[in-house]
C-alpha cells in the first residue's frame, strides 16, 4: 500500500511539473489564438512583389502566425500609383488592423498620416529620420519602426565605383529614375565627379515613358545606366532590363531583382530579408511590444550580383578580379 501511495504521489508530482513546464507554451498559444489583422500596404502589383510577400508570410508562420488560423492579412496594392497611398492607408485604418506593414517610404508616410495609434512597420525606407517617420533610429519614439535601407551617399558612390571597375572605359552614366524616386540624386552627381564620370539624369513618369527614354539616352551617347529602386521602375524591372539590353546599355541597379530580371549587375541589400525581418517586428508588436522602443534596423550586408548571361549578350568582358568579388554570379 505504501509503495502504491508513493507511486501515486510521484505520478502526481510529475503531472504537476509537466503542467508547470507547459504553462508558458500554453499561455503563448493562448496569446496567438486571437485573430490578428495585419495590414500590408504595397507600392506595386501582386505579381511584382509576390516573392517578398511570400517571404513575409513564411517568416510570420515560423513565429506562429498562420494565415487563416490566427492571423488575417489585409493586402492593399497601389499598383505603381503613389497617389493611392493615402486612400489605401485610410482603408486599413478603417479595417482596424492591429499593425500596418508599409513596403517603402511613400506608404509609410501615408500610414503615419492616417493613424497615430496603430503600429507601423516600415520596410526599405531610405532615411526615416530625415523624412520624419521616426525621431531616431535607436528610439523611434512614435508608432513607426522597422527597417531602413540606409542608401547612404557612400553606398551610392560604391555603386558608381563598381560600375567603373567593371567597365573602365565608361565616362557617361545616366541615372534613370521616376517621379517616385526618393534617394538623393544629387549625391550621384557628386560621386561621379570624384570618379571622373559625367552623370546625367532621365526621369520617367509612366511605363510608356520608358519606350522614349532609352532612345533618348542612346542619342545622348550614354555609356552606362544606373537605376535606383523606386515604385514604378521596380514594377517594370523586366521591361527596364529588356530595353537596356536592346539599346546596349550596361547598368548597375539598386535592387538584385533587376539583375534577376536581366540587368547586368546590382549592389544592394536583399529586399526579401528585409520583409523577413519585418515579420519579427510584427510578431513582437502583436505580443505587446511598443514600436516607440523598438530600434530601427539597417542592412548589415550589401551584395554584388552579376548576370553573366547579360554580360555575354552585351559582348562585355568583365575583369576576372571583379567577378571574384561577386557574392553571386547568375549564369
CA distances from 326 to 133, 268, 319 (A): 34, 12, 11
| Per-residue confidence band for 220, with pLDDT thresholds at 50, 70 and 90 | confident
Residues 92, 234: one domain? no
Residue with the bigger pLDDT between 135 and 187: it is: 135
Confidence check: pLDDT of 26 > 70: no
- 113 in any annotated domain: yes
**Is-contact 311 289, C-beta < 8 A?**
no
Residues 264, 281: one domain? no
In 54-119, DSSP assigns E strands to: 71-77, 99-102
DSSP state of 295: P
Confidence check: pLDDT of 68 > 60: yes
Strand ranges of the sheet holding 172-178, from the earlier edge strand across to the other edge: 198-204, 172-178, 224-227, 251-253, 265-268, 303-307, 328-330
- Count CB-CB contacts under 10 A for residue 53: 18
> What's the pLDDT score for residue 154?
84
**DSSP alpha helix (H) spans, 126-220:** 153-166, 185-195, 207-219
Q: Which residues contact 18 (CB under 8 A, 6 or more apart)?
A: none
Average model confidence (pLDDT) across the chain:
88
Question: CB under 8 Å, gap of 24 or more: what pairs does 188-195 form?
Answer: 188/156, 188/160, 188/226, 190/153, 191/153, 191/156, 191/157, 191/160, 191/161, 192/160, 194/157, 195/157, 195/160, 195/161, 195/164
Q: Which residue has the cell 510577400?
A: 53
Residues 94, 164: one domain? no
- 112 in any annotated domain: yes
The mean pLDDT of 226-240, rounded to a whole number, is 88
Tell me the C-alpha distance between 318 and 320, whole Å.
6
Residues 166, 117: one domain? no
In this structure, what CATH number is given to the domain that contains residue 193?
Answer: 3.40.50.2300
Tell me the C-alpha distance between 119 and 101, whole Å.
9
> What's the pLDDT score for residue 206?
85
The mean pLDDT of 290-315, rounded to a whole number, is 95
Residues 248, 325: one domain? yes
Residue with the bigger pLDDT between 159 and 300: it is: 159
> What's the pLDDT score for residue 30?
41
- 3 in any annotated domain: no
Query: SS3 for 122?
Result: strand
| Sign of the Cα pseudo-torsion (248, 251, 256, 258, in order) | negative
- 167 in any annotated domain: yes
Nearest to 197 by CA among 229, 219, 226, 217: 226
- 22 in any annotated domain: no
> What's the pLDDT score for residue 215?
92
- 120 in any annotated domain: yes
C-alpha cell at 247: 539599346
> What's the pLDDT score for residue 119?
98
- 38 in any annotated domain: yes
Tell me the C-alpha distance between 306 and 111, whole Å.
36
* Least trusted range by pLDDT, from 83-87, 183-187, 259-263, 318-322: 183-187
Helices 85-94 and 105-114: angle between axes, nearest 10 degrees:
50
The mean pLDDT of 264-272, rounded to a whole number, is 94
Residues 132, 212: one domain? no
> What's the pLDDT score for residue 24?
39
Residues 239, 307: one domain? yes
- 122 in any annotated domain: yes
Residues 145, 165: one domain? no
**Is-contact 177 151, C-beta < 8 A?**
no
Residues 106, 182: one domain? no
**Rg, the chain, Cα only:** 24
The mean pLDDT of 169-180, rounded to a whole number, is 90
**Is-contact 85 41, C-beta < 8 A?**
yes
Domain containing residue 245 = 153-268+303-330
Residues 125, 203: one domain? no
Q: Domain tally for the chain?
A: 2
C-alpha cell at 251: 547598368
Residues 108, 184: one domain? no
| Per-residue confidence band for 303, with pLDDT thresholds at 50, 70 and 90 | very high
Residues 259, 159: one domain? yes
Amino acid at each position: 500500500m505504501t509503495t502504491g501511495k508513493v507511486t501515486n504521489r510521484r505520478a502526481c508530482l510529475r503531472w504537476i511539473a509537466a503542467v508547470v513546464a507547459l504553462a508558458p507554451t500554453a499561455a503563448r498559444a493562448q496569446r496567438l489564438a486571437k485573430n490578428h489583422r495585419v495590414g500590408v500596404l504595397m507600392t506595386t502589383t501582386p505579381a511584382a512583389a509576390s516573392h517578398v510577400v511570400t517571404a513575409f508570410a513564411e517568416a510570420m508562420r515560423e513565429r506562429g502566425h498562420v494565415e487563416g488560423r490566427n492571423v488575417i492579412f489585409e493586402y492593399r496594392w497601389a499598383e505603381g500609383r503613389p497617389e493611392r497611398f493615402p486612400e489605401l492607408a485610410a482603408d486599413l485604418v478603417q479595417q482596424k488592423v492591429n499593425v500596418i506593414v508599409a513596403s517603402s517610404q511613400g506608404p509609410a508616410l501615408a500610414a503615419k498620416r492616417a493613424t497615430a495609434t496603430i503600429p507601423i512597420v516600415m520596410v526599405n525606407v531610405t532615411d526615416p529620420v530625415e523624412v520624419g517617420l521616426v525621431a531616431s533610429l535607436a528610439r523611434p519614439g512614435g508608432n513607426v519602426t522597422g527597417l531602413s535601407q540606409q542608401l547612404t551617399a557612400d553606398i551610392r558612390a560604391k555603386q558608381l565605383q563598381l560600375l567603373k571597375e567593371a567597365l573602365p572605359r565608361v565616362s557617361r552614366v545616366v541615372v534613370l529614375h521616376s517621379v517616385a524616386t526618393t534617394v538623393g540624386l544629387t549625391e550621384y552627381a557628386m560621386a561621379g565627379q570624384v570618379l571622373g564620370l559625367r552623370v546625367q539624369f532621365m526621369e520617367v513618369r509612366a511605363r510608356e515613358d520608358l519606350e522614349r527614354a532609352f532612345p533618348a539616352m542612346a542619342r545622348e551617347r550614354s555609356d552606362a545606366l544606373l537605376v535606383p529602386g523606386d515604385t514604378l521602375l521596380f514594377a517594370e524591372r523586366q521591361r527596364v532590363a529588356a530595353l537596356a539590353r536592346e539599346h546596349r546599355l550596361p547598368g548597375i541597379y539598386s535592387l538584385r531583382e533587376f539583375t534577376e530580371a536581366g540587368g547586368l549587375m546590382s549592389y544592394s541589400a536583399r529586399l526579401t530579408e528585409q520583409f523577413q525581418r519585418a515579420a519579427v517586428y510584427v510578431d513582437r508588436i502583436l505580443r505587446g511590444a511598443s514600436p516607440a522602443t523598438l530600434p530601427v534596423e539597417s542592412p548589415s550586408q550589401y551584395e554584388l550580383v552579376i548576370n553573366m548571361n547579360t554580360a555575354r549578350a552585351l559582348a562585355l568582358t568583365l575583369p576576372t578580379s571583379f567577378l571574384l568579388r561577386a557574392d553571386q554570379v547568375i549564369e
